[in-house]
């Protein structure tokens, strides 16, 4: 009967979402008056985890798990759940954690809910709040069964620091065999991804053509932001699909979302609703985006964005 | 090759979301239902595979009779037969168990689901099903090639793409990229006529109990009015973002 947090790492580093999952696990364990353990796979970095209150860190070191595999990782985590007798498992909402979450829940026959935004409203019955209808609504969802998996939505619970001095335990396992093999990973280097970004600069059809994105990229660069776009922009091939945000694209839950030349169609807004602060730059004061935004500038993006970049350069 | 495409019947993307019965149920009054967009990309891919391979396509939905309209549409797009498992789609767990049970008596080499549905959008059914059936699994799938019993899948990952190889059977979670928006098939008259002749079978449900229950829905709080900044006072915008919103 304890809380287990799967702490995802990449090259010995943890992303903010991993610390957020641990923060959530710690707060939940306190509420339930139980202990919280963190599970790391092929990572040696422990120091930073001490800031988020784990009572125990379970380490798996196994060369067969060098590369992420939803299947192999799920089977490994399932063994830990079994041996620890964990009743609640916390995962982040990173692409990999969402990928393995459902599979893991399938092999251990547990309940699972993703997109959870806050601590349970009640422990018996166990009720959590999650987003649904692509952020157009929330649901208070009851989870049933002895084991419950919770996927914590990015940037919703936040980081909560509590120092601890966890016991470190090595966990030996044999990875399962699988005919599914990763043969290649292609990564763009340098650019910030939408999922990890604190700030997202997004642009729409109002930009007129792909040649005008230099301006958007420069703005993103001064802010350390990721770039994104509306659906028609990716459909026309002005920008890659991976930048398409909205109901049928990626969700964005950044701290700041800047929308330039985007009208604010309902399907677009659905995907960015959970961003904290929204800024719109649009030359049409009637654009629906103004109803969804916190701050707005009515005007021509081609006249606003370049001086904005210059001002930010001198001020930040 | 036997392909199964799992179809979720979802409210049109422009739908106003409202709830009834003390906020415990989605108000489907006046709602237009569509094929979940991620599933439609997957179905289109299946139709292509049928054209180039010898494949047969079954579409399946777990739902009540109101879901048959979109199943007919799937048949008009190019599926060969449709299955409706007759029970309300209560949660991802019960839906995945119903599909699993169907797949125990009818085996498929390739099961295509959407990455997530746009209504309850947990992104859970495909992974659960893969876990239940012990099939290979790739979600966020943006490219898929099948050669005999070997599959190559491209998965969109944070900041890039992961390419994997495996054997059939496999379950994928499809999304845009697997086919493009412009590739989506709009059924023509012939397709619609042919769809009427194709079998749509209703299968009795196992009535598996749920593992999650939506107790109450809430809508986000109404937003306060936007603060407008004059285009020649951009310093003010930076001030607000820095000191008021504290986001830069
Ligand atoms: C099933 C379905 C799913 C969809 N899913 C999504 C989705 O996930 N994401 C998504 O984004 N869309 C989605 N859409 C499309 C959506 O309905 C809109 O068509 C789309 O969001 C509009 O994109 P846009 O704002 O870039 O373009 P437009 O609607 O053409 O808006 C361009 C805006 O730019 C402004 N503008 C023009 N010139 C300038 C200038 N010089 N300076 C400043 N502003 C300027 C205009 O005033 C206008 O408001 C979906 C649609 C459907 C049917
Ligand atoms: N009721 C259903 N019937 C058939 N397939 C479904 C159903 N619900 C979800 N799916 C499939 O599972 C995918 C992911 O759904 P979800 O887990 O609800 O986000 C969908 O895109 C469908 O392919």
Atom of ligand 1 nearest to the CA of A203: 26
CA–chain centroid gap for B135, Å, is: 19
Chain pair A-B, CB pairs under 8 angstroms: 254
- What mean pLDDT comes out for the span A310-314? 96
What residues of chain B, 72 to 101, have a C-beta less than 8 Å from chain A?
Answer: 92-93, 96
Report the mean per-residue pLDDT for chain B.
96
Tell me, yes or no, if B222 comes closer than 8 A to chain A by beta carbon: no
B186: DSSP letter: P
- What mean pLDDT comes out for the span A147-163? 96
CA distance B199 to chain A (A): 30
Of B96, B129, B238, the CB nearest to A315: B238
Confidence of residue B221 (pLDDT cuts 50, 70, 90): confident
Residue B246 resides in a domain: no
Alpha carbon of A236 to ligand 1 centroid (Å): 12
Query: Does residue B93 contact residue B12 with C-beta atoms inside 8 Å?
Result: no
Query: Does residue A4 contact residue A83 with C-beta atoms inside 8 Å?
Result: no
Model confidence, pTM: 0.95
Q: For residues A184 and B161, what is the distance between their CA atoms, to the nearest angstrom?
A: 8
Which residues lie across from A88 on neighbouring strands? A3, A148
- What mean pLDDT comes out for the span A25-53? 97
- Shared fold status for A2-170 and A199-315: yes
Residue B239 resides in a domain: no
Look at A106 and B130 and tell me if their CB atoms are within 8 Å: yes
What is the reported pLDDT for A316?
Answer: 84
Ligand 1 atom 23 nearest Cα: A230
What is the reported pLDDT for A246?
Answer: 94
What string of DSSP letters covers B19-47?
EETTTTEE--TTPPEEE-HHHHHHHHHHH
Query: Does residue A135 contact residue A93 with C-beta atoms inside 8 Å?
Result: no
Considering chain A, what percentage of its residues have pLDDT values greater than 90? 94
CA–chain centroid gap for A254, Å, is: 9
Look at B241 and A279 and tell me if their CB atoms are within 8 Å: yes
Confidence of residue A78 (pLDDT cuts 50, 70, 90): very high
Residue A134 in contact with ligand 1 by CB distance below 6 A: no
Of A178, A182, A312, the CB nearest to B162: A182
**From B121, which residue of chain A is nearest by alpha-carbon distance?**
A132
Residue B60 has pLDDT above 80, yes or no: yes
Among A143, A34, A16, A152, CA closest to A90? A152
The C-alpha angle B92, B95, B97, rounded to 5 degrees, equals 105
- How many residues are listed for chain B in this entry? 248
Residue B99 resides in a domain: yes
What is the number of domains present in chain B? Answer: 1
Span A300-309, pLDDT tens digits? 999 999 999 9
**Nearby residues of A12 by Cβ (< 8 Å), 6 or more positions away:** A43, A44, A45
Token duo for residue B179? 């086919």
What is the reported pLDDT for B103?
Answer: 98
Report the mean per-residue pLDDT for chain A.
96
Task: Please state the CATH superfamily assignment of the domain spanning residues A2-170 in this structure.
Answer: HUPs (3.40.50.620)
**From A180, which residue of chain B is nearest by alpha-carbon distance?**
B166
For residues A244, A250, A253, A258, the Cα torsion angle rounded to the nearest 10 degrees is: 10
Look at A295 and B227 and tell me if their CB atoms are within 8 Å: yes
CA–chain centroid gap for A214, Å, is: 27
Residue B113 in contact with ligand 2 by CB distance below 6 A: yes
Ligand 2 atom 12 nearest Cα: B125
Alpha carbon of B228 to ligand 1 centroid (Å): 21
Of A98, A196, A248, the CB nearest to B37: A248
Residue B48 has pLDDT above 90, yes or no: yes
Residue A148 in contact with ligand 1 by CB distance below 6 A: no
Span A212-263, pLDDT tens digits? 999 999 999 999 999 999 999 999 999 999 999 999 999 999 999 999 999 9
Best mutation target among B114, B143, B158 (most A Cβ atoms within 10 Å) is B158
Domain that holds residue B186: 2-217
Span A181-200, pLDDT tens digits? 999 999 987 778 898 899 99
Q: For residues A311 and A305, what is the distance between their CA atoms, to the nearest angstrom?
A: 10
What is the reported pLDDT for B53?
Answer: 82
Residue B125 in contact with ligand 2 by CB distance below 6 A: yes
B205-217 burial: b if 16+ Cβ within 10 Å, else e: beebebbbbbebb
Residue A130 has pLDDT above 90, yes or no: yes
**Domain A199-315 falls in which CATH fold?**
Rossmann fold (3.40.50)
What is the reported pLDDT for B17?
Answer: 92
- What mean pLDDT comes out for the span A278-307? 98
| C-alpha distance across the termini of chain A, in Å | 48
Task: Give the pairing of strands A148-152 and A36-41.
Answer: unpaired
Alpha carbon of A212 to ligand 1 centroid (Å): 16
Cis before B210? omega within 30 = no
Ligand 2 atom 21 nearest Cα: B114
Helical spans, DSSP H, in A193-265: 213-223, 231-235
Distances (CA, A) of A280 to A29, A296, B133: 40, 5, 47
User: For A73, left (φ over 0), alpha (ψ -120 to 50), or beta?
Assistant: alpha
Look at B166 and A178 and tell me if their CB atoms are within 8 Å: yes
Sort B154 into a burial class: Cβ within 10 Å, 0-12 / 13-18 / 19+. buried
Give the CATH number of the domain where residue B19 resides.
Answer: 3.40.50.620
Best mutation target among B98, B237, B242, B244 (most A Cβ atoms within 10 Å) is B237
Contacts of B228 in chain A (CB under 8 A): 290, 295-298
What is the reported pLDDT for A1?
Answer: 64
User: Among all ligands shown, which has an atom nearest to the Cα of B40?
Assistant: 2
Q: For residues A131 and A153, what is the distance between their CA atoms, to the nearest angstrom?
A: 9
Q: For residues B118 and B13, what is the distance between their CA atoms, to the nearest angstrom?
A: 8
φ/ψ of B167, rounded to 5, equals -95, 160
Q: For residues B15 and B17, what is the distance between their CA atoms, to the nearest angstrom?
A: 6
Span B139-190, pLDDT tens digits? 999 999 999 899 999 999 988 999 999 999 999 999 999 999 999 999 999 9
Helix (H) or strand (E) holding A72: helix A70-84
Residue B234 has pLDDT above 90, yes or no: yes
Domain boundaries, chain A: 2-170, 199-315
Find the farthest-apart pair of alpha carbons in chain A and give their distance in angstroms, rounded.
62
Q: For residues B156 and A234, what is the distance between their CA atoms, to the nearest angstrom?
A: 15
């Amino acid at each position: 009967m304890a809380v287990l947090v799967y702490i995802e790492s990449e090259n010995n580093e943890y992303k903010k979402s991993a610390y957020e999952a641990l923060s959530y696990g710690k707060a939940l364990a306190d509420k339930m008056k139980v202990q919280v353990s963190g599970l790391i796979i092929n990572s040696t970095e422990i120091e930073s985890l001490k800031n988020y209150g784990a009572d125990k860190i379970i380490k798996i070191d196994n060369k067969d798990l060098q590369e992420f595999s939803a299947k192999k990782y799920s089977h490994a985590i399932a063994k830990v759940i079994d041996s620890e007798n964990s009743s609640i498992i916390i995962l982040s909402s990173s692409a990999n954690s969402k990928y393995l979450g459902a599979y893991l829940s399938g092999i251990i026959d547990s309940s699972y809910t993703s997109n959870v935004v806050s601590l349970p409203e009640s422990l018996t019955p166990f009720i959590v709040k999650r987003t649904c209808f692509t952020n157009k609504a929330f649901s208070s969802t009851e989870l049933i069964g002895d084991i419950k998996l919770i996927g914590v939505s990015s940037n919703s619970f936040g980081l909560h620091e509590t120092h601890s001095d966890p016991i470190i335990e090595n966990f030996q396992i044999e990875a399962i065999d699988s005919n599914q093999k990763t043969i290649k990973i292609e990564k763009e280097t340098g650019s910030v991804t939408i999922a990890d970004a604190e700030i997202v600069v997004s642009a729409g059809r109002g930009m007129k053509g792909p040649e005008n994105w230099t301006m958007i990229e420069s703005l993103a660069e001064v802010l350390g932001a990721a770039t994104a776009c509306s659906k028609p922009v990716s459909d026309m091939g002005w920008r890659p699909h991976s930048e398409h945000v909205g109901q049928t694209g990626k969700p964005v839950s950044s701290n700041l979302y800047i929308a330039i030349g985007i009208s604010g169609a309902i399907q677009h807004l659905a995907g960015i609703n959970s961003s904290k602060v929204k800024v719109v730059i649009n030359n049409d004061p009637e654009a629906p985006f103004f109803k969804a935004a916190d701050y707005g500038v009515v005007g021509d993006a081609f006249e606003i964005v370049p001086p904005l970049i210059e001002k930010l350069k001198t001020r930040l | 090759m036997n392909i199964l495409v799992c179809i979720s019947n979802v409210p049109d993307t422009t739908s106003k979301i409202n709830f009834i019965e003390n906020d415990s149920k989605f108000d489907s009054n006046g709602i237009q239902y569509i094929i979940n967009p991620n599933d439609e990309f997957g179905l289109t891919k299946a139709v292509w595979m049928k054209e180039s391979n010898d494949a047969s396509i079954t579409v399946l939905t777990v739902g009540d009779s109101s879901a048959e309209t979109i199943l007919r549409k799937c048949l008009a797009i190019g599926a060969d037969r449709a299955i409706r498992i007759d029970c309300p789609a209560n949660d991802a767990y019960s839906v995945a168990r119903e599909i699993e049970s169907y797949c125990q008596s009818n085996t498929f080499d390739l099961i295509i689901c959407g990455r997530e549905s746009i209504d309850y959008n947990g992104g859970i059914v495909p992974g659960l099903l893969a876990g239940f059936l012990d099939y290979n699994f790739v979600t966020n799938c943006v490219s898929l090639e099948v050669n005999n019993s070997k599959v190559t899948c491209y998965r969109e990952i944070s900041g890039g793409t992961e390419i994997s190889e495996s054997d059939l059977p496999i379950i994928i979670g499809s999304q845009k990229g697997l086919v493009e928006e412009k590739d989506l098939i709009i059924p023509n008259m012939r397709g619609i006529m042919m769809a009427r002749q194709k079998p749509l079978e209703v299968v009795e449900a196992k009535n598996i109990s749920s593992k999650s229950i939506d107790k109450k829905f809430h809508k986000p709080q109404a937003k306060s009015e936007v603060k407008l900044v004059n285009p020649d006072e951009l310093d003010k915008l930076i001030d607000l973002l820095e000191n008021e919103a504290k986001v830069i």
